[in-house]
Structure 1
């Protein structure tokens, strides 16, 4: 079915309405009625555009995650070196509060992915794309191919972990973590076998 401009706009309104609801209410509590009311459309349009609320939430949350990670990857690409990138990244993370809707949406999405195979597949593809971009950036800044891939995974997991920990410890600042993270991500330039 080919959607008209109006149909595409309605679909996007539903996606945009669903994203904050995931963080506010929790994945399992979001209903067709809630999304339709937030989007300002008739409830029937949710099922016209999406097979189910779950299908809508998968599309909304993975689209949101892709956009969020694309912003991180683009900002990272602008950094001149690994130390500057670490400072930029941690400063950016400090911009998210513990009760930030974006953080809650991402946390809810990860949790739901552990139970929903379709979401797990979609979210894994989004994260894989991000890690590949980061690995490419790291290769351009001195990492070997295998090391760059491992470092990108480490960086992505660090970002996710810091956001989860911030939910437990609201005052957790990232600034004190710059040194250890820089050391983990800076390529080892010592010759093989050197002490």
Structure 2
């Protein structure tokens, strides 16, 4: 049983790396097997298809990533420091790093794979719910659900923009982001 878990983990690790390196559609059973150090038949022993493996591996990776971000965000004492922390973390995602590439490829593949889309949607919903709780616990009195959607979408967009403009200082965007998510939930007069 332990050996089977270790083999599955090697297959997951190989799939995650390969998605970022060659793209979702470029990953083959043979490539995964070679990277994991197993025979190609072992891939199909554990998974019905390479697509099933990619779905499982990518959602496990994404779920762990979103979970870690949500957990660490919950540790931030106020909205301002939380936004600073988020943007600081985000600056490490260049859009060309392995994690960014995997997430982008997974999002693209979800357009063709309803099961993957549903899993990603559940993860995003869970992440947004964590953000809503965090905002409310830190005094946000506006529409926390809308703010959570805005924040999550902004983070995704910043990763994409950062990949196109690596010189962009993501952390410098804290001020405008704070203005959008002011603790009282109202837009500032400067935006009117």
Report the TM range for the smaller structure's normalisation.
over 0.9
Name the SS of the counterpart of 2:143 in structure 1.
helix
What is the CA–CA distance in structure 1 between the aligned matches of 2:123 and 2:94, rounded to whole Å?
23
- Within-5 A mapping of 1:62-141: 62-141=59-138
TM (norm. structure 1) is: 0.91
CA deviation string 1:127-150 (max 9, x = no partner): 111111111111111234x71111
Tell me, yes or no, if structure 1 residue 183 matches structure 2 residue 179: yes
Cα deviation, residue 187, structure 1: 2.4
Cα deviation, residue 94, structure 1: 1.0
Find the counterpart in structure 2 of residue 158 from structure 1: 154
TM (norm. structure 2) is: 0.92
Cα deviation, residue 74, structure 1: 1.3
Cα deviation, residue 169, structure 1: 1.7
Deviates more, 1:96-105 or 1:17-26: 96-105
What is the CA–CA distance in structure 2 between the aligned matches of 1:5 and 1:95, rounded to whole Å?
34
Cα deviation, residue 83, structure 1: 0.4
Find the counterpart in structure 2 of residue 193 from structure 1: none
Gaps of 5+ in 1: 191-195
CA deviation string 1:136-183 (max 9, x = no partner): 111111234x71111111111111111111222222221221111011
Name the SS of the counterpart of 2:5 in structure 1.
helix
Tell me, yes or no, if structure 1 residue 55 matches structure 2 residue 52: yes
What is the CA–CA distance in structure 2 between the aligned matches of 1:74 and 1:134, rounded to whole Å?
10
Gaps of 5+ in 2: 187-192
